[in-house]
Amino acid sequence: MAFSLLSSAVLTIISAWIPSLTVLIFIGILKGFVISGVSAVALAYLTEEVHTSVVALAISMYLSGNTIGGMSGRILATLLSGELGWQKAVLIIGIESLILGLLFWRLFPGSKFFNPQKVDYHLKIKQMKRFLTDSYMLRLYFVAALLMGAFVSVYNYLTFRLEAAPFSLNHFYIAFIFLMYTFGVFGTMITSRLSKRTEQKNILKGSILFMIAGVILLLSENIYIVIFGLGLFTLSFFAAHTMASQMTALRAKEGKSSATSMYWLFYYFGSSILGSGTGYLLHGTSWSYFIIFLIVAILTAFLLASLKFNDIHKVS
């Protein structure tokens, strides 16, 4: 995790001086590749290092940290790029990330219950194949991809809608729209509480339905309704994401890091493919068609979550 954080920070700093869009995209791909080491290992680390009675709480707190980081990063990037330009904004964020990575490296406790073993790549591939052929895990992976794709799409392109009529907001006010990420923290907390007394599948399905309600409200031309819809959408997404990631981590008795890395692979595939593809859709059509497409994507995730889950058998 320390290597992932530090190498990602260094790549971010380097990208501040890259004039070529092609090279910048390549560095972005490389950065996404190395930073995935954090998310792939973190969930496995938590499920191994904390007592089973508080795994749900620990994962919720970890994802709350992700939420706060995503929110502060977007706000900082929007404000700095508006005032100083994107290159200085990237440089400042890269230096900040490097400092935080060094603090993590020095202060974070090592594993107590993990037994290091020689990596058997054939075993890893076998585990991943098993997860990909297990309908329970595969549905969770596609749910993660669809929901994350919809979430990233909204936050990527809502800013352009708010800059245009009838809202016509400037970048300073738009930056604070990302304070809606705060609702994501509440989403993870609510999921942690509900998971103690409500079936996991029902929490996931309910969260997805609320996401649909939130995204529909983004069709409004009233800024207060849009803000409310964005808050509901954000809270519901993080509730669904927390639940899906918990179900993935708890499902696998062995090969937890393989199971969670596959989850994050699909999660970020959804982010990159849908997050980019919907931009072309919006450019070629309108905001209404953009929202309709997102509703279809989220409904597909709901249908996948509605299929029967066999909670007794676990993949090993």
pLDDT digits (tens, 9 = 90+) for 227-278: 999 999 999 999 999 899 888 877 776 667 778 778 888 988 898 899 889 9
Identify the CA nearest to 257 among candidates 28, 49, 30: 49
pLDDT digits (tens, 9 = 90+) for 100-109: 999 999 998 8
At the topology level, CATH places domain 2-109+121-306 in Growth Hormone; Chain: A; (1.20.1250)
| Mean pLDDT computed over every residue of the chain | 85
- Which of residues 75 and 309 earns the better pLDDT score? 75
Cβ atoms within 10 Å of 232's Cβ, excluding its own: 22
CB 215 within 8 A of CB 298: yes
Determine the Cα–Cα distance for residues 155 and 145; give it in Å rounded to an integer.
Answer: 16
Determine the Cα–Cα distance for residues 166 and 224; give it in Å rounded to an integer.
Answer: 13
Q: Give the residue carrying structure tokens 């982010």.
A: 271
CB 262 within 8 A of CB 137: yes
- Encoded tokens for 208: 């997805």
Determine the Cα–Cα distance for residues 271 and 150; give it in Å rounded to an integer.
Answer: 8
In the chain, where the domains are located: 2-109+121-306
> Element (H or E) spanning 306, and its range?
helix 287-306
Determine the Cα–Cα distance for residues 145 and 269; give it in Å rounded to an integer.
Answer: 6
Q: Which amino acid is at 85?
A: G
- Encoded tokens for 103: 């603090």
